[in-house]
Every structure is written in C-alpha cells, then in structure tokens.
Amino acid sequence: MMVPELGEIFELKAELNSDKKEKKKEAVKKVIASMTVGKDVSALFPDVVNCMQTDNLELKKLVYLYLMNYAKSQPDMAIMAVNTFVKDCEDPNPLIRALAVRTMGCIRVDKITEYLCEPLRKCLKDEDPYVRKTAAVCVAKLHDINAQLVEDQGFLDTLKDLISDSNPMVVANAVAALSEIAESHPSSNLLDLNPQSINKLLTALNECTEWGQIFILDCLANYTPKDDREAQSICERVTPRLSHANSAVVLSAVKVLMKFMEMLSKDLDYYGTLLKKLAPPLVTLLSAEPELQYVALRNINLIVQKRPEILKHEMKVFFVKYNDPIYVKLEKLDIMIRLASQANIAQVLAELKEYATEVDVDFVRKAVRAIGRCAIKVEQSAERCVSTLLDLIQTKVNYVVQEAIVVIKDIFRKYPNKYESVIATLCENLDSLDEPEARAAMIWIVGEYAERIDNADELLESFLEGFHDESTQVQLQLLTAIVKLFLKKPTETQELVQQVLSLATQDSDNPDLRDRGYIYWRLLSTDPVAAKEVVLAEKPLISEETDLIEPTLLDELICYIGTLASVYHKPPSAFVEGGRGVVHKSLPPRTASSESTESPETAPAGAPSGEQPDVIPAQGDLLGDLLNLDLGPPVSGPPLATSSVQMGAVDLLGGGLDSLIGGPNFVTPPAATVPANLGAPMGSGLSDLFDLTSGVGTLSGSYVAPKAIWLPAMKAKGLEILGTFTRQVGSISMDLQLTNKALQVMTDFAIQFNRNSFGLAPAAPLQVHAPLSPNQTVEISLPLNTVGSVMKMEPLNNLQVAVKNNIDVFYFSTLYPLHILFVEDGKMDRQIFLATWKDIPNENEAQFQIRDCPLNAEAVSSRLQSSNIFTVAKRNVEGQDMLYQSLKLTNGIWVLAELRIQPGNPNFMLSLKCRAPEVSQHVYQAYETILKN
C-alpha cells in the first residue's frame, strides 16, 4: 500500500476540521480519492467520522464510503460511528435512513453487529418502501456475518412477512434476501412457498424493476406446483416476461417455463402454444452484442437438447455471419447440427460447404466435422455429405483434408459397405497427413478394409518407419491395423506383424502399447481362431449424437438456465468452491395426466426402438479420459480364470501360428518380459476386498438411507423401482423393490451398470425367482463389488443403470452415498497419519461446516466408526474436542479428517485432506448423512 506524505495527511486533517462546510466536503473528496488509488488514509479515521454529523446527503455518502472501507481494519474506531447510525436511522429523510441501513450491512465487524439490531428492526417496519427494501437486503448481509444473531432477533420472520408487502420492490428484495440465506442453509426451508405466496409473487412480478423480476422468477423456478393446472396458470402469468427488454429477465422466464412444461401433458393445446411462444424471444436474444449472443447460444444449446421442437423452424437464425466472433460461430455451428433434420438438410449442407472455404482454421475444421455429423444424423443426406467431403478433399488444403478423413472414418462405421469406393481417393492423400488424429483415422481405414486395398501392407509399412516418433494414438492404431491385415492376409505380412509386435512390446515403454502388443501376441500364438473373432469382430454402429449431455445432468442444467452453470454446461458443484452446500436441482416429475407411454426424451439416445441394446449407451464421448481421476490401484482385481496353458512356461508362438502361416519360422517373444503367473488373482482375491478376516466390521453396518424412487412406473412402462444402498460386514448391496404397475406379467429381469468412478458392478445376476404379476411387489438385495470398469463420472457418485425385462430396457441414474465405499481396514496408524497429513499439499485441504448436530464427541466418534470412519486420535485444545479421523475407499484412496467440536455448539468444523480432492465434497456429504440420521 502506498503511504501518503506526512504533510499531506496533516493538511487533510486541518481541512477536515475546518468550520466551512464546502472546505470539509472538498477534504473528504480528497480523502476518498487517495483511498481509491490505494493510499493508506486510515490515520484520518476520527476526523472523517466527525464529519458524519451533517445534513448534506452528498457528504454523508462520502463519509459512509470511507467507513465501509476502513471499519474492518479499525473496528474499535468504527464503534464511534454507531451512535450516528442509530440517529440516522430515525432521520426524517428516507434517503438518509436507507443510506444508514445500507452502510450498516456493509460493515462486517462482529463487535458492531449487535448495536445494529434495533435500528434494523425499525427500518424493516419503516413506512417508506425504499427504506424497507434496503433493510431486507441488510438482513441477508447480517446473516452472513452472524447467522445466530439474525435468527435469535426474529429477523427471518420479519423478512417472510415482507413477502406480503404492498410494494413490489420490497417483495423482490425480501425474496432475494431469503433465497440467499436459504442457499447457504439448504436444510432450513425458509422460502416456504405455497399457492398463496406464489400468487403474491406473481402479482409483484409485473411491477418490479428488472432485477426484482429476476429475483422473483428465480424463486418461482424453485417451486414445485401441486398439479398441471397450477403449473399452467403460473406459466400463463410468466409468459409476458418473455417480451422484456433485458435478456436476463427473458432467460429467467424461459427457465421457469422450461421447468413447468415438464408437468404439462403434450396433448394440451396450451403446450403447443407455449412452444410457439418460446421461439421468438430466444431468436431476439441473437440480435444482441456478441458476448450476450454467446451466453444466449450456450443456453439455447441446452434448450435444443431438451426440446428441439421449440426452434426446429428457426434454422436460419443460426447461420453464421461473416463478422461474428469465432466463439459465436462455433456455438452456432453446434446448434445447426442439433437442429439438422431431413426437412432442412439441403440448406444446412450448402451453408457448411460455404464455411469450409473460410479463412479461420478452427472454424473450417469444425465445419468439416459438422458435415460428417450431419451424414451420421440424417441418413438420407449421407450420400450428399460424402460427395461434399470428397469435393473438399480435392481442394488439397491440408487441414481440410485431415478433418475430412477423420469424419469419413465415422461415416464408414455408421453405414458399412456403402461408401468404401472412396478409399482410393483417401489413400492418395496419405503423405499430407501430419496430425495424429488424421493419421490414426487413415490407418484404421487401411486396416479395416485391407482386403480391398491391394497395397495395404506397403501403406502400413510406410508408417512403421518412424514408429517411435508417432503419438500413442497412432501407435495403437498401427498395431491393431497390422494385426488385422495379418489375419486377413497371413502369408504376405508375417514379417510385418513380427516387426510391429517387437516394436510395441520390447522397444516401447508405453504400458498401454506393451499390454496391447502382448495380448495380440498371446492371442495369435495360442488360438488364431479366437484372435480372428476378437480382432475382426463386427463393430457396433455408432450412435447419432455423440456429444449429448447426459440426461440427468441436462435436467439439472435446465434448472440453472441464465446462470454461469448454463454457460459452462457444468453443475454448480463442479466449479463453486467453499463450504456452502450446493443443492442439486432437478426438474419436477411429469404429472399423471401426461403420456403414460415412454416419452421420446426418456428413450436412450442411439438405441433404435426396434432392437434392445444390451449395453448402456455411452455417456457423451465417455467423458474423455477414463481414468482422469488419480485413482490408486484397486484394492483387489477380478480373479482371472486360470488358463489351462501356464503362459510363462510355454513357447508362446510354438505351433499355434504354424497352421495359419505354414512355417515354423516365427520368433517367440522374450520370456523374461512375460508375467509368469497370469493365472493368479491380482491382489489377494475377494477375501481381502470383503475383509472377512479382520473382524473389525461391526454387524450393525453403516447408515442406510430409506428407499427412494429411482425409476417411476410412468417412465418404465409400468415397472416401478425403489432402492437404496447398504454396506454390512464388508459387503455392499443394492436393495431394490420392484413393483409391477402394468397390466401384463413381467419376467426375464436383468441388470447392468455403466462404467462409474469406483468400478461398482453387480456381483451376481438380478434374481427375480417368480414372474412378477400385475400389482405385485418383490424385494431383492443385489450384491455389488468394486471390480468393474472405472470411468470418472459427473458428479463423482453418479451411477447409470440399465434394467431389462420381457417388455423393454429401461435406463435411470442415481447417486450412491460415498460411505458404502468406506472399507473396514480404514484405520491409519497415528505416526503414518501425522506424516501423511503433512505430506498432502495444503491446497488439497477442504473445509466444511456441519450444522445443527446435537451429539458430543464420544457419540460422534462411535456413530462414525459404525460407518468405517475411524478416530485415530483425540485431543482437547482450549475446550474444543479435536477428533483426527481416517477412512479408506475401496479403490485405495485415503481421506484424512480433523473434526472440531465445541461442547454446547451444535456446529462442527470439518477439515478434509486427500490426494484426490474431488472426493472431499462427497465425503463431507457422507459425514452430514451419517451424523444427522
């Protein structure tokens, strides 16, 4: 901080104490100016505070500004100003009363807060609405400093009364204040909304300022109407907001309507009218300046995924203008593809071909990709898309050619045996490819269609020369392509396959490449027929939209339209830091009057309605990297079936390939690099996983949440599933209750999980012994293990499940509580605990507050122990009980905790340290759940 000259302070001091009003005012202005540029003028605190005793509003504002800035660093001095506040709160001029209240709220000094309660109480009941609306916001600020005080003083009840105020601005500010307080205390149920209070909010909505309208609309969005009639009447009264000039008001109104439309039946005339009314305001948002357009486009992207019918006739608005900034162009392109259909595909392709000749490289790449995505999405246009891509390849522009090859690979996957005639043209451009993705795509094409390319071996050999300089993606593709080629033309390519296998296994230090190399080597040497079945297997067709947001996340993001979450396309919990619990929002359930058959939104993307897919559709692009969470080695791997051939002891390529090649001159891989005991289970088998030996697991088991509805009958053709998770003596299970609410008998039940963050998977089939008759309910406990495939989910504890019966396959997702993964040997030795705590970097420490828990330290410790959170040590520091605790997850991640308990105070402080910090939020939720139930 800059320190002003001593003389300067001295002069200002003299001017501040001058008798002339004008001189005083000028002096305060100078002080504020110095403060603004960062000079330290706190020495003048008493002199500036003396200037508060004035009737001049402008001077008062300046003094209050100074006060807000320095009260924190000079709390003892700030108390001097309290009397003036109290006096100003009774000033005849409402502007001064409001100014005093506003400043009081901004002074975050504990000592002063209790003096402010009386003036604040008077202002909340002031006859002037301007003062009341300012006081309402002050309550929220005060609550942030000292929540207990606000509750004791009864300010929250006064705030609730202000919702019925006659002045719309007071109503809006009261709603804003209550919403803010409710956000930091999700369990408090402050905004107890009912049809009467909703009616008052809707009445105030028409007359507030734009910010007031946003507060009220956001509050309405959190309300769940009791039936579709009420939802419709709210929608009717919110619709006029769509024509507001402020884009934030429009987006808030869209959010409310999108949320309540869930409850309206699609057969209603009103539903159709509402769809028509939603399009024009969204289109209007696109005529704003680019930054606003971008926010609007990100929101429209979500809306189009949820209800494409809203904008299906508005394709033209999303055509790119030459002067759009690149970020707007890319977003528009994305939405164009989402809206592409048979009706408008000709227009879209003409546009995209135009874009592919632009100058902006990123944009051109995305446009070429878009042509490929259109081909995959609209089958009738595939022919035109392929010929358009071939025209673009003829331009010989390097990056255009590379992108075109990448998308043509996908088109081959989608429409096998249709467009392979273009392979020759692709091969001509082989030398110009320098990007890993394009090289990998080309190699895949050569390997996959080797029997149609005469010189496939030469082409692949040309890539082998610089094998070690290639990226991993290309090396893996090349290995697979050469093995495919070998299986198709064994006699000619034997040397080539040996060369690539030895490059991959002996000369490479990339574990993925070596593993794949060894697997191919063993497959080829022990069972060539099996190798053929594995490597040349039929590939599943790729689904249309590969980048759709996963349905539960999409529903949550729709509830956050018009906020940062809708721009990031991530739930707030993914980017909001701090101990405030972020509440997960979700759309209201459809009411009974809406269609009973499965609505198109709930049908899984990419599953053709006729055939039943036997796996869960991939979530987006599988969220990028499967293991981008730093998961340690699994506690225990799946016991591999001991093969009849003990791999280490056998000449690996002896005889197995001779029949295929017709000669025994094949080199064996070096025995040293082959793991000898492939047959033995990894880790020490299941007994270690379930920890049956240690006997620590208490029989009471950890806390079990009551069963919740996971799959409503309406979405699953009459099958209703309720469920919860339990952990007892080391075994995890999913307790299900299946009810048949259909008119036909249900049989042939099966269950499958998608890959998830902790590898949860069913340990046994779903056993429903007798057919499930109509109106019959059956309870099943499905044992789970944690040796399934791992993929980081969003949120971390999301589990996507597919349940099949004789009628159909149904998908749902649920969040499992993390404490079912806390293992029984999670108690860390004291010394190791200390060393580990020091070793984990401080930025990995997360702090949380557990509120309203009446237990003492003993009770807390024993309750947590029954859920496998172990107290390593306990000490008493200045009257506070400090519990040091450890827990271990099934995948080997340790979490260390420090729990501070002040006797008599129901709020505990929890500090968590972990090498994988993304786990902390969920561990905190486990603490909350276990301690409060």
Domain end, chosen from 430, 461, 478, is at 430
Task: Tell me the two tokens of residue 382.
Answer: 């595939």
Give the range among 40-44, 259-263, 386-390, 440-444 with minimum mean pLDDT: 40-44
What is the pLDDT averaged over residues 838-864? 88
- The b-or-e profile of 459-475 (16+ CB within 10 A means b, else e) is bbbebeeebeebeeebb
- Stated as kind and residue range, the H or E segment containing 802 is strand 798-804
Alpha helices in 163-227 (DSSP H): 168-184, 195-205, 210-221
- Longest Cα–Cα distance in the chain: 113
CA distance 79 to 432: 76
Is the domain of 809 the same as that of 829? no
Residue 852 predicted with pLDDT over 80:
yes
Its pTM surpasses 0.75: no
836 falls within a domain = yes
What's the pLDDT score for residue 604?
A: 40
Task: Tell me the two tokens of residue 911.
Answer: 């500090």
Residue 762 predicted with pLDDT over 90:
yes
Strand ranges across the sheet with 809-815: 750-753, 798-804, 809-815
What's the pLDDT score for residue 815?
A: 92
Is the domain of 803 the same as that of 724? yes
Is the domain of 920 the same as that of 880? yes
What's the pLDDT score for residue 582?
A: 61
Residue 250 predicted with pLDDT over 90:
yes
CB within 8 Å of 278: residues ≥ 6 apart: 242, 254, 257, 258, 303, 310
* 543 or 875, higher pLDDT: 875
Is the domain of 777 the same as that of 744? yes
Strand ranges across the sheet with 880-888: 845-850, 908-914, 894-901, 880-888, 870-877
Residue 924 predicted with pLDDT over 50:
yes
What's the pLDDT score for residue 186?
A: 67
Residue 431 predicted with pLDDT over 80:
no
Identify the band that residue 252 occupies on the pLDDT scale cut at 50, 70 and 90. very high
Is the domain of 440 the same as that of 399? no
Is the domain of 926 the same as that of 826? yes
516 falls within a domain = yes
- The b-or-e profile of 223-255 (16+ CB within 10 A means b, else e) is bebeebebbbbbbebbbebbebeebbbbbbbbb
Is the domain of 760 the same as that of 793? yes
Residue linked to tokens 């690099």: 673
Residue 11 predicted with pLDDT over 50:
yes
What is the pLDDT averaged over residues 296-315? 89
- The b-or-e profile of 36-64 (16+ CB within 10 A means b, else e) is eeebebeebbebbbbbbebeeeebbbbbb
The residues pairing with 740 across neighbouring beta strands, listed in sequence order, are 719
Identify the band that residue 5 occupies on the pLDDT scale cut at 50, 70 and 90. low
Is the domain of 898 the same as that of 840? yes
What's the pLDDT score for residue 594?
A: 41
* 127 or 692, higher pLDDT: 127
What is the pLDDT averaged over residues 457-474? 85
228 in Cβ contact with 591 (< 8 Å)? yes
What is the pLDDT averaged over residues 211-233? 87
Is the domain of 440 the same as that of 501? yes
Burial degree of 166 (CB within 10 A; 0-12, 13-18, 19+): exposed
CATH number for the domain that contains residue 912 = 3.30.310.10
Please, what is the Cα angle at 771 between 598 and 775, to 5 degrees?
Answer: 60
Is the domain of 759 the same as that of 858? no
CA distance 819 to 816: 9
75 in Cβ contact with 64 (< 8 Å)? no
What is the pLDDT averaged over residues 377-406? 85
798 falls within a domain = yes
What's the pLDDT score for residue 817?
A: 92
What's the pLDDT score for residue 892?
A: 87
669 falls within a domain = no
Query: Cα-atom radius of gyration of the chain, to the nearest Å?
Result: 34
868 falls within a domain = yes
Q: pLDDT digits over 308-348, tens only?
A: 888 888 888 899 988 889 999 999 988 988 888 888 888 88
What is the pLDDT averaged over residues 415-426? 80
How many folded domains does the chain comprise? Answer: 4
Tell me the pairing of strands 908-914 and 777-785. unpaired
Amino acid making up residue 734: M
Q: Chain-wide mean pLDDT for the chain? A: 80
Residue 772 predicted with pLDDT over 80:
yes
Q: What percent of the chain has pLDDT over 90?
A: 16
272 falls within a domain = no
CA distance 495 to 888: 50
What is the pLDDT averaged over residues 277-306? 91
User: How far is residue 309 from each of residues 225, 293, 579, 605, 638, measured CA to CA in Å?
Assistant: 24, 21, 40, 16, 47
What's the pLDDT score for residue 591?
A: 57
CA distance 514 to 502: 9
Residue 617 predicted with pLDDT over 80:
no
* 176 or 548, higher pLDDT: 176
| 699: nearest Cα among 866, 926, 884 | 866
Give the range among 168-172, 623-627, 923-927 with minimum mean pLDDT: 623-627
CA distance 826 to 691: 11
What's the pLDDT score for residue 710?
A: 92
The residues pairing with 421 across neighbouring beta strands, listed in sequence order, are none
Domain end, chosen from 480, 512, 537, is at 537
What's the pLDDT score for residue 100?
A: 85
CA distance 702 to 867: 4
Is the domain of 712 the same as that of 804? yes
CATH number for the domain that contains residue 729 = 2.60.40.1150
What's the pLDDT score for residue 251?
A: 92
What's the pLDDT score for residue 700?
A: 54
Identify the band that residue 777 occupies on the pLDDT scale cut at 50, 70 and 90. very high
Q: pLDDT digits over 549-604, tens only?
A: 888 888 889 888 988 999 999 888 888 876 455 667 777 776 544 443 444 444 34
What's the pLDDT score for residue 480?
A: 92
CA distance 880 to 899: 10
Residue 135 predicted with pLDDT over 60:
yes
Q: Residue 525 is part of which domain span?
A: 435-537
710 in Cβ contact with 812 (< 8 Å)? yes
Residue 462 predicted with pLDDT over 90:
no
Residue 630 exposure: Cα atoms within 13 Å on the Cβ side: 7
888 in Cβ contact with 822 (< 8 Å)? yes
Tell me: cis bond preceding 795? Omega within 30 of 0 counts. Answer: yes
What's the pLDDT score for residue 58?
A: 82
127 falls within a domain = no
Domain end, chosen from 508, 537, 566, is at 537
User: How far is residue 114 from each of residues 110, 111, 145, 147, 156, measured CA to CA in Å?
Assistant: 8, 7, 11, 12, 16
778 falls within a domain = yes
CA distance 308 to 374: 16
Is the domain of 426 the same as that of 441? no
What's the pLDDT score for residue 2?
A: 57
